[in-house]
Each structure stands twice: as structure tokens, then as C-alpha cells.
Amino acid sequence: MPGTCSLSPNIAVAWMDAPVKIHTMAYGDHKKDDYLAINPKGKVPALKFENGDVLTEAAAILSWLGAAHGSDSYARDTELGRKEAEALSYMTSEVHAAYGGHFGPQNLAETESGQAEVKHKTYKTLAGHYDRMNGILSDNGGEWYLGKRSFADTFLYVLTRWIAQTPLSIDDYPALKQHLLRMEADRGVQIALKRQDMEAIG
């Protein structure tokens, strides 16, 4: 769906030129029966194999893409592969999860004042995450999150796009801002954006 974290493995497919067909759905179709038959969790992304097997969760799909279609540098027994797994785990289980208070404050508090407090704490938490990621990117040279291109960059790109939806400003994270611009100049990212009915924002 446009705007979702499924853009991350979508970019990876383009980078690997993997034989994966991308199906883009309108927002809300993930809750309809046709898609729930594929992924009962009603979330994107989901990868369906020819034998009917289904793999969900962006980090898991990225791991499969690296193993099936990537170079040796994506192997989990290499330093880059280990660090990539660590970065993706952090981005998906902590940073992405922290957005729950932004996208669905009503799921965490019933009253308007309670939801306002949830949002306040959410943005404080997110600011800490972005400070940390900005520092890691800077410490690793500023071009790629781990010093070399990895799938961590695909998910980081999604997270940096989401800043614009919050009271936070990407201008406060200069390394992340440059990363976003660099990613949007990348041919694979441009292909993925087009496939997912999205546009560059930088």
C-alpha cells in the first residue's frame, strides 16, 4: 500500500532485480477477505510463493531476498549481514513500533487528553530514535547506514519519510536528510516508488 513499510522490501526487490511481482493495493484493501486469505494479520507486506507458502514481516522478507537473490555480503555470517539483521530488528521492532502512538493513539488511550499525552510521549520517543540513527549514520560515513549499502537503508528511508507526518523536522537530523535525498536519487528507489503509487518527498 502507498505510504507503508512495504516500500522497504519493494526497494530491495528492485535493487536485486528479483523475480517478484509487486501488487499494490488501495489503503483499506488489507482488511478485505481476498488479502486476509493471504495474510490473516491484515498487514503489509506479504510475500506469496508459487507453492502457496506465505512469508510476512518486512524484516523476514528482506532476509529471504538477501539469501535468495543477494550477494555474499547479505549472508548473515558476514559482518555486514550481522549488522544488517541487528539494524532491521531495531528499526522494525522499536522505531516502527513506536509509531503506534502516532498512527493509532486511540488504541492506547480512550480520552482526547489521554491520546494527546500518548502522542506527546510518542514524539519524544521517536526523537530519541532519530537522534540515535542520525548518529549511527554519521559515524559510519554518512552515505549508508552501516557504511555499505544494505537493506537497512531501505527501511531507514521509510522511517525518514514518516518524519514529515509528525511534529518532528528532518532538518534536525542532517545525516538522515541527506540519506533521504540520496535514496530518492537512486534508480531502484524510483522504480519502487512508482510501483507503489508513491512520489519522492525530498
105: pLDDT confidence band, cut at 50, 70 and 90?
confident
- The closest of 124, 125, 120, 192 to 153, measured between CA atoms, is 192
- The closest of 109, 97, 106 to 162, measured between CA atoms, is 97
Instruction: Name residue 47's amino acid.
Output: L
124: pLDDT confidence band, cut at 50, 70 and 90?
very high
- In CATH, what number does 7-69 get? 3.40.30.10
- CATH classification of 73-188 is 1.20.1050.10, yes or no? yes
Residues with Cβ within 8 Å of 84's Cβ and at least 6 positions away in sequence, in order, are 66, 74, 146, 150, 151, 152
pLDDT of 186 above 80: yes
For all residues of the chain together, what is the average pLDDT?
Answer: 94
Cβ atoms of 72 and 78 within 8 Å: the answer is yes
Cβ atoms of 85 and 76 within 8 Å: the answer is yes
Q: pLDDT exceeding 70 applies to what percent of the chain? A: 98
Domain ranges of the chain: 7-69, 73-188
In tens, the pLDDT along 7-49 reads 999 999 999 999 999 999 998 999 999 999 999 999 999 999 9
Q: From CA 34, how far away is CA 54, in angstroms rounded?
A: 14
